[in-house]
Amino acid sequence: MPTTNNILYLDKVKRLKFMSHGEQLNLFNQSEWTSSTQNPSQIKLIPTHGKIPIAPGTYDSMASLAGHCHSCVRCGLSATRTKAVVGRGNLNAPIMIIGEGPGQNEDETGLPFVGKAGHLLDKILAAVKLDCDRDIYICNIVKCRPPENRVPTGDEIAACRPYLLEQIRLVDPKIILLTGGTAVKGLLEDNRGITKIRGTWMEWQGRLCMPILHPAYLLRNPSREPGSPKWLMWQDIQAVRAKFDEIF
């Protein structure tokens, strides 16, 4: 006579099994299955292969999401990371900032935007009186550093996208700022160049999104003359502050 646990397990496997070139992929973290069998209603089988989606609502907290990110093997970036970089800031922030991926400093500390670009971003936000600890939550499209800081591949972005969607659901921001073209492509699946769409408000799933220039780009272009990247960023961040005041 099959037990309730076995029925639940076989049903989930039947629905989520993924075949590749005739071989069954190793879909699930077996330790999570073992630890959860005592309470069938809380069973959550997390796919470890990037081509298998993670269902919305899988995580009940950012801590549980972070715990899985730190042991994630959904793409090849797991083999070269020092630490997974999940996020920092207020877990109930009205504004979420999404970057491309961790750099060396982030990979070492496990926190996003803590290098030179991150320090500049903090200064820009402070200039319009947005508090990183109160108003902002910061994360990235991918949670592991691509080797040599290269741009993440499409497969890497797709493997990590479910984590990002869960972060958005958990934080529930009203405004999302996308720093750079990779962030725009990763969330909005929009391939237009960042210089063409920066500063433009867009709606995505009931949220206001604005593409902005990446702070690292500003570091490479220090001019403050009208029309320069820093000048454009200043216009955009003031528009963000105005929208923040309008909503809140």
In this structure, is residue 41 part of a structural domain?
no
pLDDT tens digit sequence for 56-77: 999 999 999 999 999 999 999 9
**pLDDT tens column, 74-118:** 999 999 999 999 999 999 999 999 999 999 999 999 999 999 999
Least confident of 42-46, 128-132, 176-180, 198-202: 42-46
Q: Is residue 77 part of a domain?
A: no
For residue 165, tell me if it sits in a domain. yes
Give me the DSSP letters along 56-70: TT--SSHHHHHHHHT
**129 dihedral zone (left: phi>0; alpha: psi -120 to 50; beta):** left
Residue 60 included in any domain:
no
In a domain, 93, yes or no: yes
Is residue 6 situated within a structural domain? Answer: no
Give the type of residue at 244. Answer: F
Q: How many CB atoms neighbour CB 198 within 10 A?
A: 22
List the CATH number of the domain containing 94.
Answer: 3.40.470.10
pLDDT at res. 53: 87
Name the residue range of residue 115's domain: 86-247
pTM for this prediction: 0.82
Let me know: does 25 contact 18? Beta carbons within 8 Å: yes
Q: Model confidence at 51, in pLDDT bands (50, 70, 90)?
A: confident
How confident is the model over 30-36, as a mean pLDDT? 35
By percentage, how much of the chain surpasses pLDDT 90?
78
pLDDT in tens, 175-218: 999 999 999 999 999 999 999 999 999 999 999 999 999 999 99
pLDDT given for residue 45 in this prediction: 59
* Residue bearing the bigger pLDDT, 157 or 47: 157
Which pLDDT score is estimated for 48? 75
Instruction: Work out how many domains the chain is built from and give that number.
Output: 1
The pair phi, psi for residue 82, each rounded to 5°, is -90, -50
Does 140 reside within a domain?
yes
Is 40 part of a structural domain of the chain?
no
pLDDT in the model for residue 143: 98
